[in-house]
Chain A
Amino acid sequence: MQLSREQLEQAYRRMKIIREFEERLHVEIGKGEIPGFTHLYAGQEACAVGVCENLTDEDLIVSTHRGHGHCIAKGCDVKGMMKEIYGKAGGICGGKGGSMHIADLDVGMLGANGIVGGGPPLAVGAAIATRNQGKERVTLAFGGDGSCNQGTVFEAMNLAVVLKVPTIFVFENNGYSEHTAFEYAVGSGDIAARSEAFGMPAIKADGADFFSVYDATKQAVERARKGEGPATLEFAICRFYGHVEGDPQNYRGPDEVKNLRETMDCLKNFRTRVGEAKLLDAGRLDEIDEEVMTLIEEAVTEAREAPPPAPDALYTDVYNAY
């Protein structure tokens, strides 16, 4: 483990921000404050952060409908994200994108995506761009287990191998394609093996363990930066909420979420790991918790108080609105 104290604190802070961002959204959505369809990332924080702590602002990611965690891990402005999700002026996309379409190209976040399987082909193209620009940058395509069954993903994986570009396909296997179980929907039951069949290395890791995710990603990123081509990462993880807010989750077993929160909570795991190894003390982590709670409270307050986008915003950012 080569991470400095500062890096560990940043990793924990980002995981905690994601967790509390999502927990708070769940509450506010319950009150009817948030418009639209929201897909919460809570439970998967170690995946986004374990991956992105290997990246710089120069590296690129594409994300999914469940993208808040990826955005925060990549360094998107949390308050701007909250305003976006509330559909307000000052939102990171001016209130025009919403929860499923957050993007911030300045930090290498090329966009969340409402189309399952929409992102991986984009990640191949972005990797072509960085290769041709002579930069040692990598592009990562996040996806869920559901996305591994899309033809677009198969095509993107093969193209990345053919062109030998620095694209890394990240599959966060949370066990469900929306409301259908992984065991049913993925015939072979093995995403990594599928990826290997396309001609790239694939690593499986424990998605609830930040360090496991971090180390697996490091291998893939180092390889890709050296021009050795694409790779796949498959992380076993769980989501604490439904596919979308409002999902009755009848597909869950009895006490499934309660058990997952007890046994697969990546934040608790992280605290235990850094505590046992005497890397960070609990007091410092508690301070971070408090800072995060303040940040989230401010983000919600500011989002609530922000005005809606100006009506004319409807007609901007398009070549011709007619």
Chain B
Amino acid sequence: MSVKSYRDAINECLAQEMERDESVIVLGEDVVGGSGSKGGKEAIGGVFSLTAGLWGKFGDNRVMDTPISESAIVGAAAGAALAGMRPVAEIMFTDFMGLCLDQIYNQAAKFKYMFGGKAKTPMVIRTTHGAGMSAAAQHSQVNYSWLTNIPGLKCAVPSTPYDAKGLLASAIRGEDPVVFCEHKMLYMSQGEVPDEPYTVPFGKGNLTRQGKDVTIVGFARMVTLANEVADKLAGEGITCDVIDPRTTSPFDEELVLESVEETGRLVIVDESTPRCSMASDVAGIVSSQAFEFLDAPIKMVTPPHTPIPFAPSLEWTYLPSADKIETAVRETLEGR
């Protein structure tokens, strides 16, 4: 066990899984970097350096720079998966998923079911998501909510280095297509990560704080904010369960329902815009299955239903914050 960054945990996982199974291949834009250039290969290893060093270890046939062609990248990954490989494709920013959506939701996600169980599609689409870098409207979004709406597709939203490594290993070793959403604001965050390979299962949430008064469910970077609020309120004697579902699809309903049955109060923190979001989805699950346990209306803390603004002052107003979560927790305690 040693302390590693979220980024290094993912990079280590990729190397270990490629070592473990030669059917694991990596492809995407600049995942090697420098292909065909005078400076030579390994120029960058992904724009956030997540795939650095892989080409040097595993070579051209297993680590492939691609042209800027998202549809072909994801389609090729799906085809390779059908034909026996375990591809890990990178879509540089999750915002670029619009370009390859057909290959995700009409192709990869449907093969197993549509072909009567004959096909497996063990592939992972790694992508970076999230706001906070003033990357503006087309480089800052999260899309796990609408990906979760696609049957046959799994979706992971790790919030810690430990989960990032373990969930990615599960994704690579699984039999279904997975979109693996890495939050760009978490890449440098640190945490304990075992050196050896391990898996964290999909569909099993993590209770990151235990309490009795309010349940807070957070996704991706929102978990760190929820933990912060829970720690602060604990000083006043207000204790919260904080739940990190880790994966939006499959989703650990049981953990959330059990917690709400104890606390009777629920705050959901989601970086998605509010309509048809994970926040509204979890609110739907709880209100339809645990209504009798609720002592106050469910609170959703999300951005407004707007595109993401560029100006830092607006972007930070857009995003959920610890203050907004704290306000929501206090309101739910007041029954509002």
Contacts and interface: CB of A to CB of B under 8 A. Distances in A.
A189 B317 CA distance: 46
Contacts of A314: 304, 306, 309, 314, 317-318
Contact of B36 (A93, A117, A184, A247): A184
A115 B67 CA distance: 14
B58 interface: no
Interface stretch (A10-18, A126-134, A148-156, A193-201): A148-156
| Secondary structure call for the A interface | loop
Contact of A146 (B47, B68, B135): B68
Contacts of A181: 34-38
B54 to A, nearest CB: 15
Contacts of A151: 69, 71-72, 99
A182 B295 CA distance: 62
B69 A149 contact: yes
A322 B274 contact: yes
Contact of B30 (A37, A93, A179): A179
Interface in B201-243: none
A250 B33 CA distance: 9
Given A35-B310, A150-B69, A250 B44 contact: yes
A252 B137 contact: no
B72 to A, nearest CB: 7
B139 interface: yes
Contacts of A101: 136-138, 310
A125 B138 CA distance: 21
A311 B34 contact: no
Given A100-B139, A320-B305, A87 B134 contact: yes
Contact of B33 (A93, A147, A251): A251
A311 B313 contact: yes
Given A180-B29, A251-B39, A88 B304 contact: no
A100 to B, nearest CB: 6
Contact of A251 (B38, B71, B133, B313): B38
A117 B70 CA distance: 10
B202 to A, nearest CB: 30
Q: In the complex, which range does the number of interface residues on chain B fall in?
A: 35 or more
A321 B305 contact: yes
Contact of A87 (B33, B37, B44, B310): B310
B67 A96 contact: no
A149 B68 contact: yes
B36 A183 contact: yes
Contacts of A30: none
Interface in A227-265: 247-254, 256
A152 B70 CA distance: 10
A35 B315 CA distance: 11
B65 interface: yes
A211 interface: no
B307 interface: yes
Contacts of A182: 36
Nearest to A85: B310
Contacts of A116: 68, 96
B35 A185 contact: yes
B311 interface: yes
A322 B39 contact: no
Contacts of B311: 35, 87-88, 91, 95-96, 98, 308-309, 313
Contacts of B290: none
A252 B107 CA distance: 38
A220 B244 CA distance: 57
Contact of B43 (A113, A179, A185, A186): A179
Contacts of B275: 322
Interface in A259-297: none
Contacts of A184: 35-37, 65
Q: Which 9 A-B pairs have the closest CB atoms?
A: A184-B36, A98-B310, A253-B38, A114-B138, A181-B36, A87-B311, A35-B134, A149-B67, A36-B134
Interface of B: 29-30, 33-40, 42-44, 47, 65-72, 95-96, 98-99, 133-139, 273-275, 304-307, 309-314, 317-318
Given A37-B135, A250-B34, A253-B39, 14 more contacts: A37-B133, A87-B314, A97-B136, A100-B139, A179-B30, A179-B37, A179-B44, A180-B67, A181-B36, A251-B37, A308-B313, A313-B309, A314-B314, A318-B307
14 contacts: A37-B136, A95-B309, A97-B136, A97-B137, A150-B99, A180-B33, A180-B37, A184-B37, A249-B39, A251-B33, A252-B38, A314-B304, A321-B305, A322-B273
